[in-house]
Amino acid sequence: MNEELVYINGSYYPRSEARISVFDAGLMVGDTMTESTRTFRHVPFRLRDHIVRLYKSIKVARYPSTPSLEEMERITLEVVARNAPLYGPEDDFWIVHNVTRGSFQAANDPSRNRSEATVIVFTMPLDLTYWARFYEEGCHAVTPFSRAIPAEALDPKIKNRSRLGYTLCDLEVKLVDPAAQCILLDTHGNLAENKGGNVFVVADGTVLTPTTRNALAGISRDTVLGLCRELGIPSGERDLQPYDVYTADEAFFTSTPYCIMPATRFNGLPVGSGSVGPITRRLLDAWSARVGVDIAAQGLAQLRAATPA
Amino acid sequence: MNEELVYINGSYYPRSEARISVFDAGLMVGDTMTESTRTFRHVPFRLRDHIVRLYKSIKVARYPSTPSLEEMERITLEVVARNAPLYGPEDDFWIVHNVTRGSFQAANDPSRNRSEATVIVFTMPLDLTYWARFYEEGCHAVTPFSRAIPAEALDPKIKNRSRLGYTLCDLEVKLVDPAAQCILLDTHGNLAENKGGNVFVVADGTVLTPTTRNALAGISRDTVLGLCRELGIPSGERDLQPYDVYTADEAFFTSTPYCIMPATRFNGLPVGSGSVGPITRRLLDAWSARVGVDIAAQGLAQLRAATPA
Amino acid sequence: MNEELVYINGSYYPRSEARISVFDAGLMVGDTMTESTRTFRHVPFRLRDHIVRLYKSIKVARYPSTPSLEEMERITLEVVARNAPLYGPEDDFWIVHNVTRGSFQAANDPSRNRSEATVIVFTMPLDLTYWARFYEEGCHAVTPFSRAIPAEALDPKIKNRSRLGYTLCDLEVKLVDPAAQCILLDTHGNLAENKGGNVFVVADGTVLTPTTRNALAGISRDTVLGLCRELGIPSGERDLQPYDVYTADEAFFTSTPYCIMPATRFNGLPVGSGSVGPITRRLLDAWSARVGVDIAAQGLAQLRAATPA
Amino acid sequence: MNEELVYINGSYYPRSEARISVFDAGLMVGDTMTESTRTFRHVPFRLRDHIVRLYKSIKVARYPSTPSLEEMERITLEVVARNAPLYGPEDDFWIVHNVTRGSFQAANDPSRNRSEATVIVFTMPLDLTYWARFYEEGCHAVTPFSRAIPAEALDPKIKNRSRLGYTLCDLEVKLVDPAAQCILLDTHGNLAENKGGNVFVVADGTVLTPTTRNALAGISRDTVLGLCRELGIPSGERDLQPYDVYTADEAFFTSTPYCIMPATRFNGLPVGSGSVGPITRRLLDAWSARVGVDIAAQGLAQLRAATPA
Amino acid sequence: MNEELVYINGSYYPRSEARISVFDAGLMVGDTMTESTRTFRHVPFRLRDHIVRLYKSIKVARYPSTPSLEEMERITLEVVARNAPLYGPEDDFWIVHNVTRGSFQAANDPSRNRSEATVIVFTMPLDLTYWARFYEEGCHAVTPFSRAIPAEALDPKIKNRSRLGYTLCDLEVKLVDPAAQCILLDTHGNLAENKGGNVFVVADGTVLTPTTRNALAGISRDTVLGLCRELGIPSGERDLQPYDVYTADEAFFTSTPYCIMPATRFNGLPVGSGSVGPITRRLLDAWSARVGVDIAAQGLAQLRAATPA
Amino acid sequence: MNEELVYINGSYYPRSEARISVFDAGLMVGDTMTESTRTFRHVPFRLRDHIVRLYKSIKVARYPSTPSLEEMERITLEVVARNAPLYGPEDDFWIVHNVTRGSFQAANDPSRNRSEATVIVFTMPLDLTYWARFYEEGCHAVTPFSRAIPAEALDPKIKNRSRLGYTLCDLEVKLVDPAAQCILLDTHGNLAENKGGNVFVVADGTVLTPTTRNALAGISRDTVLGLCRELGIPSGERDLQPYDVYTADEAFFTSTPYCIMPATRFNGLPVGSGSVGPITRRLLDAWSARVGVDIAAQGLAQLRAATPA
């Protein structure tokens, strides 16, 4: 396979040569707005929604100068068009946007320091091998002892790359289980979100997820809530505590790459029966039907292919 | 002036060619530990202390693989040796360490994904022109409405580059005054820190600064507390509120580049007499005496040189 | 009347001889999960729901070894069968489950110290004389100054016997009125719950109760919400503050023994008219109708019988 | 060895027959005040201080009726006198006080329900085998994700037996390491205490421990602070965060049975050198010298005796 | 124009002579309950609702002695009858109630110090010139750094005159823009309210406003929610964060004098298109239709009249 | 006795005729800065310190226009000079400053609405009869369930008249005991202050008081800390919880009128011995000695004179 091309500020670079200055604000102060979109059979899923959210982040972060939303969409489709032929027909790929504030100069007044934003758009193979077995077994959700950054300090609805807090939480849960997936709590002890996704529980037939007070307004989350409405499954947003996961019938995460990832253990205890539950399966099936891809099967196929015989 | 060389993972690059992969964790998830040291007459100030703190950050962030502390010090001194001749004898320079977790792969288990850290060490001219006039006039300290990230979410004592929250706070205070310097409050309303420094007040002859519960344990902060002890000025660490700045006799920031920056206004009101106070001056003089450089004079000389006649 | 029999770990003891070791974890560290069910005309009310909740508590508390839920139900019914003949046909009784972690050994690793749980099941006469007058007069609800334990420290949805905090709150409100019934606030000042029940207000025809974020998910609470749905009375769960009780038209508590207890004063002020309100009465009547027992009348009859002529 | 005698409300029972009613408030609502004292060569250590603190707890808990402090001391000494001959001359023992509010009657007004308190005093062999290896290796301190109960809900300075929250925290850290010892954080993310002891760090030669805002005012903690004063080791009480443990030179717990237990790992990372530090050793030596018992040696001797050859 | 008459405790005074003792509790301790009602074409709008809320405030504030609600309504209508002829037919007026606890004596036991309340009722011209341009341009909403007083300290649902906190917040936002209108955050960073009104956002066709947990239950707010129901516009109450205003399509304030005030900037950024949005207009039109007054036109007419040609 | 004169904005009025407009900001929005000074034998005590603090409050409240500090002092001394002859030689008096923002106009931009401040200065007899018996018996300190306003909402160090929250807390504690004196807790459950004074405990010979994080920096508080230093009594400022009062040896309040008021009960339990303690007496004696007035004796003489034979 040839290398994908990476778009950086108007030019295309082979992946292995895609670099930015070490003086870029993205590196110097984690000042990067971001989106990750996936494809289904090479068709981007809700790409417009991702780009709209990117521009919400860019607005709230007060970036002085970026391409227009329409121009960004055009760039994105061109990156997709150039790279798509590199991926197999059964495989899908990520489309990643990283937009930084541009060059960084510590001593200067940031309000006047209006460099052009750095725009990076690239694709990557959607490698599901890490998550694939969770479609069948479910994963182990674990709570770190550090808390999610509260919105009054940095709103998680701003999808950004200053993610150290999340990374440290993720490393904390790996102390419990190297394969653990984290569920951060907010500073009041309510469920917040996963380091890269949202969390849901199913109890007595109702699908529940935390509000967006301390969580990203995830597009996969929104897709699941929409599927619930279509399927007639009661659903809602409200404050949840760890007790609600321990005593749930089912639990799952949502995120762009895996869509829905069942969680069958929580802090060492089984969730419900300890195996993937029927409503989780139903939602994943409905999502697969909508996009014309058996989502779990695709991941499991990758896993089998990656496993030495 | 020729270009400085930037050390990246064992190689040296001219500044304009110093780049890292867009797939580095520093860019992808703001996963960078950092230090900034300055020189006085080309002599690094408390370099060892900065490197020791860097390794505290690296430890707490659980970086899997970095050079030893001694090796890092050796690299640093070599960068200094190579670049120092480029700076004028009256000028000083920053020495910056940015160490990232290395390459980033979203789909992989981070606990097993033990790439080598990315080590970047560079120098930059210590440009004080932005701050220099504050040595004489004092600056305008302003409180943003967003709060500092609490230590239970991400401890500010970990000196890192996931700084978006601080940048947004700094942009908030620029709404009040384009030259404003921010004083973040913690989530309980106590003074925390500046986006890149610590804050002090002087009241009734006593120098006070917030504890490190929600602030970096700044080396400049430590230098000032040490100078207080030497000069017999009573000093202490305790919770402070905006009222304490409004009613203080003097206030100042501390940070590596400017050492001590007087603040003579706070949220639109004068601090004390509204001009730089005697204890602030005494501390700055004592610091200048220790390092053999008139710190304020150096900045003001830069400013004059930069100002068109 | 003969003594009831108390089930303890497979044996039956007369009430006055029912004892456990002073080294049991229930006494040594308050490590007891519990349920209290009442009967109506000797028929247990929602016994299965109570046992299901008991097993949720046991699960979350990670008890290493307990009988199965079905076995617990069988034991319970046998205790009921043995003791029911001791109670008069007009009287009802409590069915209490106390399940402790078993023997306690301070110096041992609790994760390896897997003794059998201690299972205690007993019945007691349902003595309503303390509460009976409140059916007619309403009680005086009072707010203690201590706060409810937040779920991030110990979730009140785990129905347990580490109740010292609640007892102290109850003693605090007795300083105001020896007959006061407490309404704890959570650590943010919202209404949480009573020491042994839930709290409701009625305002403009709508029945409101706090969410379960900081309150037991009471079965009596659930019964009232169900009755509201059946009777077409609008109802909801949301954050409430003391102001909402002061200005409510009606207020009441729910708990297993008394079902619904009207509150006609709150912190010394009348609630609504100061007498028991129509929606409260309607809910109590509907409950009585469902179970075939005039709940208030039963309590008042006990009170009359207990009052010296 | 014969059985120890347990004092219960004026009578003595062999340990295996020491029982209390299942209707006691100690079991029914975790309403028990407690102290644990240890001996050194059969001499109780700071027994008077423990009994004084017990009576502080009893006062704050508003127990209506207990023996006088002097009577409690007399009872205690008699229990010691009766049981001491059962322990070997090299062995020591616990002296445990459990005082409950007495009989519990759910339906009665607690302010009028003034039964006699239940007073239980017993001794137990001081079995240090669980902790002994930590004197040499240090233990692994781990932070649970649940938080300590805040003082506004139930002050940890009241030494009581409603300990479920602590037990659950301890089980959480066992998910990381079956031998882990917990360090609870308070609801703001500061270090609080261990489930049965206090925590200290040593940094730059100074011994620091959290204030008693959210921690028991431990008598062992007080002993260590006193030893610091005697030995001229700087010490202090202040808010500490996990960062302070990660970056400390040494860390240790204090509690009655083991006195000082070094912690050489914290959440999977080494503390300082990863082995027991010099100030920890010096404090333990000073304590041993004061009481005439080599504290660590006693524990290690027990461990060797308990280990099959 | 002659002077309006001010009712004070049974007497009428010309406005310029309306005074109260400097020893009144209203001045001495800010102990005043208040309502402000406006007229439309001289007809008071929801006067009864305002008076009912006044008596809720008076009740919660435990005022010992006030006229009955009916008497207060009668007084109010008489004040209106006396003063209405002074206002032009196109003009409207405020009706203000200020009821204080009466005379203040610092040294006396407040529970026994039962003076008569001081009742003040007056009217004032409804001068909309300050706000009128916002009907066309929208205003600039800005967040102060101080926080709203939490309900656990003083519930904002008690409509009172201890308003210093709000005034200081309003002065803070004037540092950003002399015409800024404040949106206070609660102590957790959620939107609370304006210093004298409520705040709404419109997103994806849904009208949202914070709950009353930390905000006045505004009658204008209630009017807007009622208009939404009538017009079939989805609406709801929930926690909102600054992000929700930045990314909203529309935003507006509600308050008695101006009814609905569009906000087209928030902290320096445009809200939606940066001009007054269609749902805001629709709600204002519906309100105008209900009361038979073109609300915006009335204000703009005043503004034109007040502007020198 | 003739009437005292009240200074209002340059004029003197007899007390019974001292009035301000009902449109003054002091009444309309509780916008009043205040100080209360007392005399000892007609000599004002620390008057300059009170006026300095008044001007701190005025500064932080951003009053646009007030007399100079020196002018205020001159006015004050003239008020004293005029009124002092009205008080008996054994009696003392209050000197009260109330400074409001001036006239209030709701519809106007407050930043431009720069009316002159309203300055009110008066004296009142220092009537100690309410407190006098507490010098001998001690008072009953009680904790309300509402919390002190946190500094992030309105800093209590700003001495102001928006005091409704305090008044409501005081009424809450009167539910427990009509003579109760309140100790407010802050929103984290630490002791804050009394509605008009500070609170101290004495434990093991050390005098402790909360920090000023959530309390007025009282001048009487400062006097007591100064007396401690002079008398060699160890003292300090730190977070205290109700437990610390329950278990203290002594407790007392400080405030301008009574100076030191012993508290011998706390929430229904005795503090220490339940009678006034030796350190409290020693401090009161030292204060009396400093000012040449037996403070307690003066109050008790008033009480005897006021009590019918």
| In the predicted structure, residue B103 carries a pLDDT above the cut 60 | yes
| In the predicted structure, residue C108 carries a pLDDT above the cut 80 | no
Q: Is B136 exposed, middle or buried (0-12, 13-18, 19+ CB in 10 A)?
A: middle
Q: pLDDT by residue (tens digit) across F211-269? A: 999 999 999 999 999 999 999 999 999 999 999 999 999 999 999 999 999 999 999 99
Q: For residue B2, what pLDDT band results from cuts at 50, 70 and 90?
A: confident
Q: Name every residue whose Cβ is closer than 8 Å to that of residue A228 and which is 6 or more positions away in sequence.
A: A207, A234, A235, A283
- Quote the CA–CA distance of A211 and A221 in Å, as a whole number: 11
Q: Using CB atoms, list chains with 3+ pairs below 8 Å to chain F.
A: B, C, D, E
Q: Using a CB-CB distance cutoff of 8 angstroms, which residues of chain E are in contact with residue A155?
A: 241-243
**CA B217 and chain centroid, separation:** 11
Residue C76 shares a structural domain with residue C152: no
Residue E254's CATH number = 3.20.10.10
Distance from CA of A234 to the nearest CA of B (A): 32
| In the predicted structure, residue A17 carries a pLDDT above the cut 60 | yes
Q: Which of C63, C95, C124, C167 to mutate to test the interface with D (most CBs of D within 10 A)?
A: C167
Q: Using a CB-CB distance cutoff of 8 angstroms, which residues of chain A are in contact with residue E144?
A: none
Q: For residue F306, what pLDDT band results from cuts at 50, 70 and 90?
A: confident
pLDDT at position F307: 83
pLDDT at position B300: 96
Residue in D closest to C161 by C-alpha: D29
Q: How many CB pairs under 8 A join D and F?
A: 35
Q: Cβ F239–D152 below 8 Å, yes or no? A: no
Q: Between the CA atoms of E6, E11, E17 and E18, what dihedral angle is there, to the nearest 10 degrees? A: -50
Q: pLDDT by residue (tens digit) across B140-192? A: 999 999 999 999 999 999 999 999 999 999 999 999 999 999 999 999 999 99
| In the predicted structure, residue C52 carries a pLDDT above the cut 60 | yes
| In the predicted structure, residue C290 carries a pLDDT above the cut 90 | yes
D→A interface, C-beta within 8 Å? 142-147, 172, 175-176, 185, 187, 189, 242, 267-268
The phi and psi torsions of A14 (rounded to 5 degrees) equal -60, 145
- Quote the CA–CA distance of B68 and B76 in Å, as a whole number: 12
Domain count, chain B: 2
Residue E279 shares a structural domain with residue E298: yes
Tokens of C106: 């301070």
Residue F21 shares a structural domain with residue F88: yes
Residue F50 shares a structural domain with residue F14: yes
Q: For residue A1, what pLDDT band results from cuts at 50, 70 and 90?
A: low
Chains C and F touch (3+ CB pairs under 8 A): yes
Q: Name every residue whose Cβ is closer than 8 Å to that of residue D112 and which is 6 or more positions away in sequence.
A: C178
The phi and psi torsions of C202 (rounded to 5 degrees) equal -120, 125
Q: Cβ C32–D31 below 8 Å, yes or no? A: no
- ∠ CA C190-C194-C196, nearest 5°, is 145
CA nearest to B287, candidates B90, B46, B42: B46
Q: Using a CB-CB distance cutoff of 8 angstroms, which residues of chain B are in contact with residue E142?
A: 175
**Number of helices (H), then strands (E), in chain E:** 9, 15
Distance from CA of A292 to the nearest CA of B (A): 23
Q: How many CB atoms lie within 10 A of CB C214?
A: 29
DSSP structure class, residue A231: H
Residue D67 shares a structural domain with residue D10: yes
CA nearest to B213, candidates A13, C259, D242, A21: D242
Average pLDDT taken over every residue of chain A: 95
What does the pLDDT average to over D210-218?
96
Q: Name every residue whose Cβ is closer than 8 Å to that of residue A204 and which is 6 or more positions away in sequence.
A: A249
Residue in F closest to C175 by C-alpha: F176
What does the pLDDT average to over C214-234?
97
Residue in F closest to D237 by C-alpha: F238
Residue E107 shares a structural domain with residue E138: no
For B290, half-sphere exposure in the C-beta direction (CA atoms, 13 angstrom radius) is: 16
Domain end residue (candidates: B87, B107, B125): B125
| In the predicted structure, residue C233 carries a pLDDT above the cut 90 | yes
Q: Using CB atoms, list chains with 3+ pairs below 8 Å to chain D.
A: A, B, C, F
Residue B158 shares a structural domain with residue B103: no
- What whole-number percentage of chain C has pLDDT above 90? 93
| In the predicted structure, residue B39 carries a pLDDT above the cut 90 | yes
Q: Which of A59, A152, A155 sits opposite E188 (nearest CB)?
A: A152
CA nearest to C163, candidates C307, C52, C267, C30: C30
- DSSP code per residue over B54-113: HHHHHHHTT-S----HHHHHHHHHHHHHHHGGGS-TT--EEEEEEEE--B--TTS-TTT-
Length of chain F: 309
- Quote the CA–CA distance of B295 and B280 in Å, as a whole number: 13
pLDDT at position D306: 87
ipTM of the complex model: 0.95
Helix (H) / strand (E) element for E91: namely: none
pLDDT at position A30: 97
Q: Which of E62, E188, E213 sits opposite C241 (nearest CB)?
A: E213
Amino acid at D265: R
Distance from CA of F171 to the nearest CA of C (A): 10
Residue B41 shares a structural domain with residue B147: no
Residue in B closest to A26 by C-alpha: B27
Amino acid at F210: P
What does the pLDDT average to over E22-47?
97
Residue in B closest to A179 by C-alpha: B109
Q: Using a CB-CB distance cutoff of 8 angstroms, which residues of chain A are in contact with residue C152?
A: 185, 188-189, 241
Amino acid at F269: L
Q: Using a CB-CB distance cutoff of 8 angstroms, which residues of chain F are in contact with residue C175?
A: 142, 176, 267-268
Tokens of C57: 């508590």
DSSP structure class, residue B143: -
Q: Which of A140, A145, A186, A269 to mutate to test the interface with D (most CBs of D within 10 A)?
A: A145
Residue E235 near residue E283, CB atoms below 8 Å: no
- Scanning the structure block, which residue is given the tokens 């020896």? C178
Instruction: Give the 3-state secondary structure of residue C241.
Output: coil
Q: Between the CA atoms of B265, B269, B272 and B278, what dihedral angle is there, to the nearest 10 degrees? A: 10
- Quote the CA–CA distance of A21 and A67 in Å, as a whole number: 20
Identify the domain containing residue C289 by its residue range.
134-305
Least confident window among D62-71, D109-118, E290-299, F46-55: D109-118
pLDDT at position E308: 79
Residue B123 near residue A25, CB atoms below 8 Å: no
The phi and psi torsions of E302 (rounded to 5 degrees) equal -60, -45
Q: For residue E108, what pLDDT band results from cuts at 50, 70 and 90?
A: low
Q: Cβ D143–A145 below 8 Å, yes or no? A: yes
Q: Which of A30, A107, A147 sits opposite B162 (nearest CB)?
A: A30
Q: Which of C185, C239, C268 sits opposite E213 (nearest CB)?
A: C239
Q: How many CB atoms lie within 10 A of CB D36?
A: 19
pLDDT at position B144: 98
pLDDT at position E171: 95
Tokens of A201: 């529980």
Distance from CA of A303 to the nearest CA of E (A): 39
Distance from CA of B30 to the nearest CA of A (A): 5
Rg of chain D in Å (alpha carbons): 20
Domain end residue (candidates: B97, B125, B153): B125
- Quote the CA–CA distance of C68 and C99 in Å, as a whole number: 12
- Quote the CA–CA distance of A295 and A299 in Å, as a whole number: 7
Residue in E closest to F163 by C-alpha: E29
Chains F and D touch (3+ CB pairs under 8 A): yes
| In the predicted structure, residue D114 carries a pLDDT above the cut 80 | no
| In the predicted structure, residue C8 carries a pLDDT above the cut 90 | yes
- Scanning the structure block, which residue is given the tokens 């407790």? F251
Distance from CA of C145 to the nearest CA of E (A): 11
Residue in F closest to C174 by C-alpha: F176
CA nearest to A192, candidates A205, A210, A171: A210
Three-state SS for chain F is CCCCEEEECCEEEEHHHCEEECCEHHHHCCCEEEEEEEEECCEECCHHHHHHHHHHHHHHCCCCCCCCHHHHHHHHHHHHHHHHHHCCCCCCEEEEEEEECCECCCCCCCCCCCCCCEEEEEEEECCCHHHHHHHHHCEEEECCCCECCCCCCCCCCCCECCCHHHHHHHHHHHCCCCCCEECCECCCCCECCECCEEEEEEECCEEEECCHHHCCCCHHHHHHHHHHHHHCCCEEECCCCHHHHHCCCEEEEEECCCEEEEEEEECCEECCCCCCCHHHHHHHHHHHHHHCCCHHHHHHHHHHHHCCC
Q: Which of C149, C152, C157 to mutate to test the interface with A (most CBs of A within 10 A)?
A: C152
Q: How many CB atoms lie within 10 A of CB A179?
A: 18
Residue in D closest to A183 by C-alpha: D145
b/e burial code for range D127-154 (CB count within 10 A of at least 16 → b):
bbbbbbebbeebbbbbbbbbbbbbbbbb
pLDDT at position D6: 98
Q: pLDDT by residue (tens digit) across E191-233? A: 999 999 999 999 999 999 999 999 999 999 999 999 999 999 9
| In the predicted structure, residue D110 carries a pLDDT above the cut 90 | no
Q: For residue D65, what pLDDT band results from cuts at 50, 70 and 90?
A: confident
Q: Cβ B59–D238 below 8 Å, yes or no? A: no
Q: Which of F154, F174, F193, F194 to mutate to test the interface with E (most CBs of E within 10 A)?
A: F154
pLDDT at position F133: 96
Instruction: Give the 3-state secondary structure of residue A95.
Output: strand
User: What residues are paired with F12 via a beta bridge?
Assistant: F7
Q: Cβ C152–A189 below 8 Å, yes or no? A: yes
F→B interface, C-beta within 8 Å? 56, 59-60, 62, 150-153, 155, 157-158, 188, 211, 213
pLDDT at position A115: 75
Instruction: Give the 3-state secondary structure of residue D218.
Output: coil
pLDDT at position B115: 75
Q: Find the farthest-apart pair of alpha carbons in chain C and give their distance in angstroms, rounded.
A: 60
| In the predicted structure, residue C105 carries a pLDDT above the cut 80 | no
Chains F and E touch (3+ CB pairs under 8 A): yes
Q: Using a CB-CB distance cutoff of 8 angstroms, which residues of chain B are in contact with residue E145?
A: 143-145, 185, 242, 267
Residue in A closest to B31 by C-alpha: A164
pLDDT at position C114: 57
| In the predicted structure, residue C237 carries a pLDDT above the cut 60 | yes
Q: pLDDT by residue (tens digit) across A110-133? A: 555 557 899 999 999 999 999 999
Q: How many CB atoms lie within 10 A of CB E292?
A: 9
Q: pLDDT by residue (tens digit) across F104-152? A: 875 555 555 557 899 999 999 999 999 999 999 999 999 999 999 999 9
Average pLDDT taken over every residue of chain C: 95
Residue C117 shares a structural domain with residue C178: no
What is the pTM for the complete model shown?
A: 0.97
Residue E63's CATH number = 3.30.470.10
Strands, E, within C69-156: which ranges? 93-100, 118-125, 139-142
Q: How far lies A77's CA from each of A73, A98, A306, in Å?
A: 6, 15, 30
Least confident window among C107-111, C227-231, C271-275, E240-244: C107-111
- Quote the CA–CA distance of D56 and D49 in Å, as a whole number: 11
Domain end residue (candidates: D125, D153, D168): D125
Residue in E closest to F181 by C-alpha: E109
Q: Using a CB-CB distance cutoff of 8 angstroms, which residues of chain F are in contact with residue E30?
A: 30, 32, 161-164
Q: Name every residue whose Cβ is closer than 8 Å to that of residue C168 and which is 6 or more positions away in sequence.
A: C144, C146, D60, D61, D62, D154
Residue C140 shares a structural domain with residue C110: no
Q: Using CB atoms, list chains with 3+ pairs below 8 Å to chain C.
A: A, D, E, F
Q: Cβ F241–D213 below 8 Å, yes or no? A: yes
Q: For residue D59, what pLDDT band results from cuts at 50, 70 and 90?
A: very high
Q: Which of F59, F62, F152 sits opposite B185 (nearest CB)?
A: F152
What does the pLDDT average to over F90-97?
96
Tokens of F237: 């400022």
> How do A206-209 and A235-237 pair as beta strands?
parallel
Q: How far lies C131's CA from each of A55, C257, C303, in Å?
A: 60, 9, 9
Q: How many CB atoms lie within 10 A of CB C199?
A: 27
Q: pLDDT by residue (tens digit) across B5-35? A: 999 999 999 999 999 999 999 999 999 999 9
pLDDT at position A2: 81
Residue D85 shares a structural domain with residue D148: no
Q: How many CB atoms lie within 10 A of CB E89?
A: 7
What does the pLDDT average to over E66-83?
97
- Scanning the structure block, which residue is given the tokens 């954080």? D185
Q: Cβ E56–C242 below 8 Å, yes or no? A: no
Residue B180 shares a structural domain with residue B291: yes
Q: Which of A24, A100, A163 sits opposite B29 (nearest CB)?
A: A163
Q: Cβ C211–A185 below 8 Å, yes or no? A: no
